[in-house]
A and B are shown apart, each in its own frame.
Chain A
Amino acid sequence: MKILVCISHVPDTTSKINFTDGGTKFDTNGVQFIIGPYDDYALARAIELKESIAGTTVTVLNVGLGDTEPTIRKALAIGADDAIRVNAEPTDSFFVASQIAANAQGYDLILMGRESIDYNGGVVHAMVGEMLGMPSLSPVMKLDIEGTKVKMSREIEGGKESVEANLPLVAGCQEPIAEWKIPNMRGIMSARTKPLKVVEATSSDKSVITQKYELPAPKGAVKMISADNVAELVNLLKTEAKVL
């Protein structure tokens, strides 16, 4: 089986978000970039499948400029066999999905996170599925393969749903599909020499254009209330905040 895992290169979850150039550019100053946390779950599940199903290979794909290569090497260190980098800035869901679809020929299973934690579109998997004519599902919390059948559990509002489909398939993943894997020394050493192919983007007109970014309005000061006077809190929630 051939598995493609699509990873995003995103700011660490503890990052402070800022913009420069009049709100048109993300400020990378002091920001640590990581494999998208949801993509990391997808990758971990792919490696588990590779370990349990003979003849399985795992390719990672990232849409990004050259600065994403350390993130891709980390995915190789975790256990992917080879990698593809589409040399383009991942500006929006449709553009990224188009690049993935253009490079996804021949894969039986395409995994990625439920969403990237930068733009939070949460739809690349659905778009890739639609572009390739494959079923797609997200957020998948459990994924098992029996022959060509895939059994999944998907989170829905206030519960979960069990779903079956046949390969080929696209899935957006989230915990607890697998435990994150930490690369070991041998993995890190071998990742340096694993193949990383760079391909150019298919020319694709943008259907959306990000004009600028904004930060939320700063929060006002917190109003402290004595622990001996909780009735005052209830009163304020009712009369001042008007939320009760």
Chain B
Amino acid sequence: MAVLVFVEVGEGKVRKSSLEAVAYAHLMGGGVTAIALGTVAASELESLGKYGAQKVLHVADSKLDQPVIQAYASVLAKAMQDENADVLVLANSSLATPVGAKVAIKAKGSFASNVVELPSTTSGFVVKRSIYTGKAFSMVEMKNQKKVIVLKKNAAEAKEVGGTAQIVPYSVALSDVDFATKITATEKASGDILLPEAEIVVSGGRGLKGPEHWGILEDLAKALHAATGCSKPVSDMNWRPHHEHVGQTGVKVAPQLYIAIGISGAIQHLAGVNSSKCIVVINKDPEAPFFKAADYGIVGDAFDVLPKLTEAVKSMK
């Protein structure tokens, strides 16, 4: 089964989630071709070979340095055809997910997003999807010959398997329609670790009593190389920016380690963190519902526990 993998490039680098997608495609067996769009160094693309790509199509068109969804979809649909790929694999992102959906329509394929495991092919082609915001899973049979799969974070481990990839220049004729949406400005929180991709997240809630107390949380985050998050009340009160809001209607995270400080654990907050590998809850209320969803818990005051925890992390290193 020939698999095409979309490799997303951010600031000239291949995103880690795309390495997971290449590793996933490799584990499916069969030939793996990756495709990257826009300006990116050859060395970055060559490294995809280590994760299982045999060939990397590179569309070195600077117009594609901007993540224009429609244009990306046109390129990928054509590449799927040219490469005779049965399956297109993408890692979930604000760019990749809509691109995948559009390719599925163009290719008359079956589509599934939020896929958490390798497909089972013993009877049909069945994928496991995360649904109800992480509260359940569905087993979905993809019936059409062409298939587009969008992976949830951690669907496969980005493991090096050795190997080298051949880089092949590739181009697709694009029209004005592909650029009908114009990106006029991009604002990025610079220097921070991106919350959706972070391996460790430190989140604060109302228990921190005010935005002026976030320093102790940031100290811990810094010691752990973690991203910072917050609960919905905290972003609603403008203590922290909206893009830090973790929960059902905010960012859903899936880090290795999630540390919640002064967050009681409303079901809507849990929905945003239930894909985390390990959850630590620090709360002065021993009855806080979050403890039921935690792996480790400390009953204590944030202002007492946080500085001690930061010191303990620092002395570990």
- A117 interfacial contact with B, CB 8 Å: yes
Q: Are A222 and B137 in contact (CB under 8 A)?
A: no
- In this complex, what residue of B is CB-closest to A227? B300
- In this complex, what residue of A is CB-closest to B310? A230
Q: Are A234 and B102 in contact (CB under 8 A)?
A: no
Cα A1 to Cα B109 with chains together (Å): 34
Q: Are B104 and A216 in contact (CB under 8 A)?
A: no
- B106 interfacial contact with A, CB 8 Å: yes
- A71 interfacial contact with B, CB 8 Å: no
Q: Are A206 and B143 in contact (CB under 8 A)?
A: yes
- B168 interfacial contact with A, CB 8 Å: no
Which residues 194-244 in A have Cβ within 8 Å of B in the complex?
A: 206-216, 219-220, 222-227, 230-231, 233-234, 236-238, 241, 243-244
The stretch of A52-60, A62-70, A104-112, A123-131 that contacts the partner chain: A123-131
Interface 0/1 of A127-143, CB less than 8 Å to B: 10111010111110100
Q: From the candidates B102, B104, B187, B281, name the one contacting A159 in the complex (CB within 8 A).
A: B187
A13-B248, A163-B184 known; A207 vs B144 contact (CB < 8 Å): yes
Interface 0/1 of B273-302, CB less than 8 Å to A: 010011011000000000111111111110
By secondary structure, the A interface counts as: mixed
Q: Are B292 and A227 in contact (CB under 8 A)?
A: no
Q: Are A243 and B309 in contact (CB under 8 A)?
A: no
By secondary structure, the B interface counts as: mixed
Q: Closest CB of chain A to B121's CB: distance in Å?
A: 14
- A144 interfacial contact with B, CB 8 Å: no
A208-B143, A211-B141 known; A123 vs B131 contact (CB < 8 Å): no
- B180 interfacial contact with A, CB 8 Å: yes
Q: Are A163 and B140 in contact (CB under 8 A)?
A: no
- B142 interfacial contact with A, CB 8 Å: yes
- A85 interfacial contact with B, CB 8 Å: no
Cα A241 to Cα B105 with chains together (Å): 42
A120-B130, A222-B295, A234-B316 known; A162 vs B138 contact (CB < 8 Å): no
Q: Are B94 and A156 in contact (CB under 8 A)?
A: yes
- In this complex, what residue of A is CB-closest to B99? A126
Q: Are B143 and A216 in contact (CB under 8 A)?
A: no
Q: From the candidates B104, B134, B181, B189, name the one contacting A163 in the complex (CB within 8 A).
A: B181
> Count of A residues near B, CB < 8 Å?
76
Number of A-B contacts defined by CB within 8 Å: 243
Which chain B residues border A157 with CB–CB below 8 Å? 10, 93-94, 194, 196-197
Q: From the candidates B105, B189, B313, name the one contacting A158 in the complex (CB within 8 A).
A: B189
Q: Are B141 and A209 in contact (CB under 8 A)?
A: yes
Which chain A residues border B194 with CB–CB below 8 Å? 157-158
Q: Are A222 and B291 in contact (CB under 8 A)?
A: yes
Which chain A residues border B67 with CB–CB below 8 Å? 156
Cα A117 to Cα B105 with chains together (Å): 22
Cα A243 to Cα B276 with chains together (Å): 11
A155-B94, A213-B137, A237-B280 known; A14 vs B187 contact (CB < 8 Å): no
- In this complex, what residue of B is CB-closest to A125? B98
Q: From the candidates A122, A141, A223, name the one contacting B297 in the complex (CB within 8 A).
A: A223
- B114 interfacial contact with A, CB 8 Å: yes
Which chain B residues border A207 with CB–CB below 8 Å? 109-111, 142-144
Q: Are B180 and A158 in contact (CB under 8 A)?
A: no
Cα A162 to Cα B181 with chains together (Å): 10
Cα A160 to Cα B183 with chains together (Å): 11
Q: From the candidates A37, A93, A159, A210, name the one contacting B101 in the complex (CB within 8 A).
A: A93
